[in-house]
Amino acid sequence: MTDADEPRWLTPGEQRAWVALAGTVIWLPATLDAQLQRDAGISHAEYQVLSWLSMSTDRTRRMSELADTANVTLSHLSRIVARLEQRSWVRRTPDPADGRYTLAILTEDGWRKVVASAPGHVAAVREHVFDQLTPTQVAQLEEIGAQIFRHLRPDCATGHVAPVDAAAEAASPGQSA
């Protein structure tokens, strides 16, 4: 094997950073899921779908767009949405603009569920992420996360959430986390 064929091994600093990131990617979703299951009776995946719908125009999105956002197959998303439909939080209907697509629509009951679940979820995000960081680290986290996201998903505009005005942010509990 020549030097050109050798793997580019991680430096000790890169290895420590990778282990820290991998641990976060594994344990943070499980921690947030446990909080939502305990306090709201829903999974993190279910909350995310409700939250994304709450932030969408007319609280409606194409199922294919939701699946892409969630990085799940349309089949997996369909099972999640079926559970939300059973609770009357979401309904599905053919897209009137193009019948080949199905729309997921957040119901009023679904909106109330997002509003009721958001404070506990945001508190968990704050406790497990932001309370652990300085303001400088939060800015660094945003920059680093956006950079990695842009690399992974160059088709997404900027890799981070666009700023919103404080009034709109306060009026939309699904927007915070």
Residue whose C-alpha is closest to residue 90's, from 113, 69, 70, 72: 113
* pLDDT for res 172: 47
Q: Which helix (H) or strand (E) holds 75?
A: helix 74-86
Stated length of the chain: 177
Contact at 8 Å (CB) between 105 and 59?
yes
What SS3 class is residue 156? coil
Residue type, 13: G
- What pLDDT score does 169 carry? 44
Residue 177, pLDDT score: 53
Mean pLDDT of the chain: 89
Q: Which of the residues in the chain have pLDDT under 70?
A: 1-2, 157-177
Angle at CA of residue 135, ends 131 and 140, nearest 5° = 105
pLDDT of residue 1: 56
Structural contact between residues 162 and 168, judged by C-beta atoms closer than 8 angstroms: no
If DSSP codes are grouped into helix, strand and coil, which group holds residue 67? helix
Longest Cα pair distance anywhere in the chain, in angstroms? 64
Owner of token pair 């369909």: 78
